[in-house]
Amino acid sequence: MDHTGNEPASRRDEHVPGICHQRIRSTLDVIANKWAVPVIVELVRAKGEPLRFTQLVRAIPGITQKELTKQLREMEAAGLVRRKVYPVVPPKVEYTLTELGWSLDPVLDALARWAATYGNLVAENQARFRARRKADSADPQEPAPPSR
C-alpha cells in the first residue's frame, strides 16, 4: 500500500470505514440472497460453458422461473453474469459468468470453508441464545416496589 497519498482515490477510500462498509453492503445486497449463490455455483460448475435458462432451473432445486429471471437480471445489472440472446425461434438465451462474476469464486470458496469450520458453532450459539431469551421471557422478574 502506498502511504504517500499518491494512490488512486478508490484505493485510498477502501479502508475508510463508511465507504468500505457501504461497498460491502452493496456487494452483499447482490450476492447474499436465497438464489444468488446457487446460480453462481451452477455457472462455476459449467466451467465457462454457457448454460441455458432451463438448465439453470433444473440444476437449482426449488427455484421458480420467476425467481431465476429476477436473480439473473440483478446479476446481469451488477455485471456478474453475461446474457446472450440468439435470434431464433424458439428463443435461445445463454448465461455465463463475466470476469467480475468469476472473481467471486474464491470469495465464495473461502466463505464455504469458513462455514464448514464454524457453521455448527454459529448454529449452536444461536440455539443457546434463543433458549436464554425464551427462558428470560418465561421467568418474569419481581416488579420493583412502588416509589413514594
Domain that holds residue 81: 11-102
> For the range 77-83, what are the long-range contacts, defined as Cβ-Cβ under 8 Å and sequence gap of 24 or more?
78/30, 80/30, 80/31, 80/40, 80/104, 81/39, 81/43
Give the pLDDT confidence of 64-92 residue by residue, as tens digits: 999 999 999 999 999 999 999 999 999 99
Give the pLDDT confidence of 80-133 residue by residue, as tens digits: 999 999 999 999 999 999 999 999 999 999 999 999 999 999 999 999 999 999
| Domain assignment present for 92 | yes
| Domain assignment present for 18 | yes
How large a percentage of the chain has pLDDT more than 70? 83
Alpha-carbon distances of 136 from 127, 139, 140, 143, rounded to whole Å: 14, 5, 7, 15
- pLDDT over threshold 50, residue 1: no
| Domain assignment present for 137 | no
Least confident window among 14-18, 31-35, 64-68, 127-131:
14-18
| Domain assignment present for 57 | yes
Number of domains forming the structure of the chain: 1
Which CATH number belongs to the domain containing residue 27 in this structure?
Answer: 1.10.10.10
- pLDDT over threshold 90, residue 60: yes
| Domain assignment present for 45 | yes
